[in-house]
Amino acid sequence: DAGVIQSPRHEVTEMGQEVTLRCKPISGHNSLFWYRQTMMRGLELLIYFNNNVPIDDSGMPEDRFSAKMPNASFSTLKIQPSEPRDSAVYFCASQSMIAGFKTQYFGPGTRLLVL
Amino acid sequence: AQTVTQSQPEMSVQEAETVTLSCTYDTSESDYYLFWYKQPPSRQMILVIRQEAYKQQNATENRFSVNFQKAAKSFSLKISDSQLGDAAMYFCAYGGATNKLIFGTGTLLAVQP
């Protein structure tokens, strides 16, 4: 199993630019989570999906952030326009909904730097 | 609301020795999971061990074991025979009915050669 795949691994962009982060969950997992990690705020859950449907987006900081999951094997997190305070490590995690296997597995993360 | 508390911001252990990282949580749920994740300098979040609340037996994964005290809402991680590669940030996490993970603030573990 390849695990959760995220791309790009590193992204450097200028303020005002659009940023798109991508995630491929583990095959067979039907829940997907987007997190953001910063020194100041630690790990924050931004949004999560069950069976491709957004369930809780209360952690999305503002309208500049949007997330989609068009199918079971792909999700995107978009920031438009980006700001320096968006600089962080963004993680995607996936989880099986099968009872007894509710464990989140994380991707390697995307390090985003907004100049 | 559920909370997770890690009261040790930093810990240090000598190579080959044993160290215990503390975690307490608060919940009114009866069915939940508890996890320890390791985050080395690469920033990858690696699952170390997990415990189902309904199981009385403490989970063990090689050199890693937990001491799960449900009544006390305590979930400590013991690392035996510490190795240099164990140096990392360790996060305790709670997973309940909502499927959302609640993380503690982390404990930074240093391993001294």
E-strand stretches of chain B: 3-5, 10-14, 19-21, 24-26, 33-39, 46-52, 60-61, 64-69, 74-79, 88-95, 101-103, 107-112
pLDDT tens digits, one per residue of B41-99: 999 999 999 999 988 888 888 999 999 999 999 999 999 999 999 999 999 999 988 88
Q: Encoding tokens for residue B53?
A: 């609340």
Residue A64 sits at the chain B interface (C-beta within 8 Å): no
pLDDT tens digits, one per residue of A1-18: 679 999 999 999 999 999
Tell me if B50 sits within 8 A of B57, measured CB to CB: no
Residue A48 sits at the chain B interface (C-beta within 8 Å): yes
What does the alpha-carbon distance between residue A73 and residue A49 come to, in Å, rounded to a whole number?
12
What does the alpha-carbon distance between residue A3 and residue A5 come to, in Å, rounded to a whole number?
6
CA dihedral A25, A31, A34, A37 (to 10 degrees): -90
Task: Out of A48, A108, A111, name the one closest to residue B99 (CB).
Answer: A48
pLDDT at A99 over 70: no
Taking an 8 Å cut-off on Cβ atoms, the answer to whether A100 and B52 are in contact is yes
Taking an 8 Å cut-off on Cβ atoms, the answer to whether A108 and B101 are in contact is no
Q: Which residues of A touch B44 (CB under 8 A)?
A: 106, 108-109
Tell me if A23 sits within 8 A of A5, measured CB to CB: yes
pLDDT band at residue B3 under the 50/70/90 scheme: very high
Residue in A closest to B50 by C-alpha: A103
Residue A106 sits at the chain B interface (C-beta within 8 Å): yes
Mean pLDDT on A49-66: 93
Low-confidence winner among A86-100, B7-21, B79-93 (lowest mean pLDDT): A86-100
